[in-house]
């Protein structure tokens, strides 16, 4: 007597995964917005745009999305946020403690709640293990990205990529500012390296530097400070959330 009334066969599992992944990927070939980098700024931006009704594709090259949130500060797994963003934490059901006028949050809870909200949103397709290696452009507008499987990309095998298109693309790839750097290889774009660490300044800079870099190409989060020379900052995350929200507003106005 077996426990399962409806056992799943190996063939079924393979078939279902293949079918549903391919269906999701096919839908992502043409979406409203592509977000590259599922760190805090990209995740918030994706969620805000999806809540406004846009179809959003989120790509991250790592196995686990969440970017720099997980490790807190030097692996001590808490992050700190300004009281000003308390309502965002409440929106996502993220628990916090108030101490010294700041908000203290488990980095693991913070990352997983944001990822869960994005991964389970009906307007969002989230793909991990996908690396963006170039930009797609038509008539001087950024119109999509060139992607490859991260394992293929890391192994250096010569395997042709695929293209996903969208009305707007966000570079939220963190310190590397991957898309901004790819764009600047082909067209004029002033990229100044991020400045020395100064969290108070950096938190302001990251919001101010969130912008449209070129037609169809937006930048948010640490990538924005890398492009514009803003200050480096550490485990304080209010600026990242507000940068993601600003990017969502700018993108919604553009598309």
Nearer to ligand 48F, 228 or 240 (CB): 240
Nearer to ligand 48F, 31 or 41 (CB): 41
Q: Scanning residues 22 to 61, which ones bind ligand 48F (CB under 6 A)?
A: 36-42, 59-61
Least Å distance, CB 33 to ligand 48F, is 15
The beta-strand segments (E) located in the chain are: 30-36, 56-59, 78-82, 97-99, 102-106, 124-127, 130-138, 141-149, 162-171, 195-197, 211-214, 217-219, 231-232
Does 230 bind ligand 48F (CB under 6 A)? Our answer is: no
Token output for 1:
């007597």
Among 174, 216, 230, 238, interactor with ligand 48F by CB under 6 A: 174
Least Å distance, CB 25 to ligand 48F, is 15
Size of the site for ligand 48F (CB under 6 A): 30
Among 31, 112, 173, 194, interactor with ligand 48F by CB under 6 A: 173
Nearer to ligand 48F, 110 or 167 (CB): 110
Nearer to ligand 48F, 19 or 76 (CB): 76
**Helix, strand, coil percentages in the chain from 3-state DSSP, rounded to 5:** 40, 30, 30
Nearer to ligand 48F, 169 or 214 (CB): 169
Site string for ligand 48F, 93-132 (x = CB under 6 A): --------------------------------------xx
Beta bridge partners of 166: 31
Least Å distance, CB 118 to ligand 48F, is 12
**167 and 255 in contact (C-beta within 8 Å)?**
yes
**Segment interacting with ligand 48F (CB under 6 A) among 20-28, 80-88, 118-126, 169-177:** 169-177
- Report CA 232 to chain centroid distance, whole Å: 19
Q: Which residues contact 234 (CB under 8 A, 6 or more apart)?
A: 73, 197, 199
Least Å distance, CB 225 to ligand 48F, is 8
Closest CA relative to residue 120, chosen from 65, 164, 70? 65
Phi and psi of 190, rounded to 5°? Answer: -80, 115
Edge-first strand order for the sheet with 97-99 is: 78-82, 102-106, 97-99
Please give the residue ranges that form the binding site for ligand 48F (CB under 6 A).
36-42, 59-62, 65, 67-69, 131-132, 172-174, 176, 178, 221-223, 233-234, 236-237, 240
């Amino acid at each position: 007597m077996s426990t399962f009334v409806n056992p799943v066969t190996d063939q079924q599992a393979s078939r279902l995964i293949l079918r549903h992944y391919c269906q999701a990927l096919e839908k992502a070939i043409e979406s409203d917005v592509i977000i590259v980098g599922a760190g805090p700024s990209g995740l918030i931006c994706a969620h805000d745009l999806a809540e406004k009704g846009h179809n959003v594709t989120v790509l991250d090259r790592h196995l686990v999305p969440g970017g720099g949130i997980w490790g807190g500060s030097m692996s001590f797994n808490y992050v700190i946020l300004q009281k000003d963003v308390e309502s965002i934490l409440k929106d996502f059901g993220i628990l916090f403690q108030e101490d010294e006028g700041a908000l203290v949050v488990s980095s693991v809870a913070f990352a997983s709640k944001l990822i869960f909200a994005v991964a389970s949103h009906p307007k969002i397709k989230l793909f991990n293990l996908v690396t963006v290696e170039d930009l797609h452009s038509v008539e001087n507008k950024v119109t999509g990205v060139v992607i490859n499987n991260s394992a293929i990309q890391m192994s250096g095998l010569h395997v042709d990529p695929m293209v996903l298109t969208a009305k707007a693309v966000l570079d939220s790839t963190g310190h590397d500012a991957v898309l901004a750097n790819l764009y600047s290889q082909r067209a004029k774009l002033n990229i100044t390296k991020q400045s020395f660490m100064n969290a108070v300044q950096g938190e302001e800079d990251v919001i101010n530097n969130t912008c449209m870099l070129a037609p169809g190409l937006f930048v948010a989060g640490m990538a924005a400070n890398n492009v514009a020379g803003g200050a480096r900052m550490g485990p304080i995350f209010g600026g990242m959330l507000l940068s993601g929200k600003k990017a969502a507003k700018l993108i919604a106005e553009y598309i």
